Amino acid sequence: MPNQKAENIKNKEQKDKTFNKESLLNLNQENSEIVSFFKKSQEENVKLTDKILSLEKAQDIIFEQFRDLELQRIDLEKQQKKLEEDSEKFRSRTIDLFGKLVDLKKAKKTISLQNEKLETQQKEIEIHQTLLEKSNEKFRERTIELFGKMIDLKKAKKTISLQKEEIENHREQLTALNASKDKFFSIIAHDLRNPIAGFLNLTEILTNNFDVFSENESKEFIEVMNEASKQLYNLLENLLQWSRAQTGGITYEPKFISIKKMVDETIDALMINIENKSIKISLNLDEKAIVFVDENMITTVIRNLLSNAIKFSHRNEIISIRCTSKEEFVELSVIDNGIGIKKEDREKLFRIDQHLTTPGTSEEKGTGLGLILCKEFVEKNRGKIWVESDLNKGSEFTFTLPKK
């Protein structure tokens, strides 16, 4: 098709050349008048004709160039068309992940399908996410519920533990009450009955034999009766204070008071007992030591400890009372060199459920209540009491009292 078009152009050019030549010749022959008009000779016309022919050659060259340009234009159109086709093909293609050229429509379709698949998967993920959130919410609710139950269980366990402790405390209190009751009846049945019975026997003997006994014999009976009455009085005093302590009859009224004052008053009260055994009292006290205690309770403690030290000391021995001041409390110790205490008995001294009485070096009787009363009164005053003793090596009773 392009060759036919070029041939047509060439024929047209040939016809144009022939026509131009003939036209020029005819023009020369038929228009001599024009030539004359311009006053030119035939030679000049010939020269003009030659020039015209030269122009024809130039025209042929121009036509040749025009033809070449036309052919180039046609070729360029072909190339442009091919480029457009290639461009269209290129636009319809793309490069995949592996660098391979693929059809764009197919790629778009594939991508569209993948997008649809991704959207489907996304919807499934959203559904799973929703289900997971609901599951997590249920899990949280269940966790909170279980946590609440755990807290309730802990509270229940704590309540049960507290109830157990309370029951145990009640049991211990009940045991202590039973022991107190047993101790009370034991004192009434034995410790209180015996002195009274002995006192009655002495009065009966003295009454029946008053006229028979000499004055000295009667005096001896009276002295024994006096000692029995003192013992009975001490027993009743301890029993009264102990029973009041058990029933809350003794009120705790602390105040600031000097240790030396209470010790001096106790020594004065027991001076007859001290002199009867020719015992010496060695004092090592801090005269400035002040404690915050109930005076009546602590005076009772000092009296019981000093009375025991006198009872278990031999004649002409020394009893030491020592006061040591600490940062927050004061330690007071009563030390004797008497008969001492066996190890197994030391553990029974402050227990209400244990009955332990030991006669003194002069066969003095005890109630078994003194040290128990000491422990209760010391603890009521926020102190502690303990003993260090070995058999036949004396004893050291120490207790603490707060400074404020």
Q: Domain 251-404 belongs to what topology?
A: Heat Shock Protein 90 (3.30.565)
- The separation between CA 261 and the C-alpha centre of its own chain, rounded to angstroms, equals 51
Least confident of 10-24, 44-58, 78-92: 10-24
**401 φ, ψ (degrees, to nearest 5):** -135, 140
pLDDT of residue 163: 80
- Is the pLDDT score of 84 beyond 80? no
Identify the three-state secondary structure at position 391. coil
- Is the pLDDT score of 189 beyond 80? no
- Is the pLDDT score of 397 beyond 90? yes
- Is the pLDDT score of 11 beyond 90? no
pLDDT of residue 356: 64
At CA 18, angle to CA 15 and CA 20, rounded to 5? 105
- Is the pLDDT score of 385 beyond 90? yes
Identify the three-state secondary structure at position 88. helix
Radius of gyration of the chain (CA): 70
CA distance 173 to 81: 117
pLDDT of residue 93: 54
pLDDT of residue 14: 58
Nearest to 262 by CA among 301, 212, 209, 310: 301
CB 260 within 8 A of CB 220: no
Mean pLDDT of 44-61: 65
Per residue in 204-254, pLDDT tens? 888 888 888 888 888 887 887 887 777 677 777 777 776 776 666 677 889
Residues of the chain above pLDDT 90, percent: 15
Residues 6+ apart with CB under 8 A from 340: 312, 389, 390, 391, 392, 393, 394, 395
Per residue in 16-41, pLDDT tens? 555 455 554 554 555 555 545 455 55
**250 φ, ψ (degrees, to nearest 5):** -100, 120
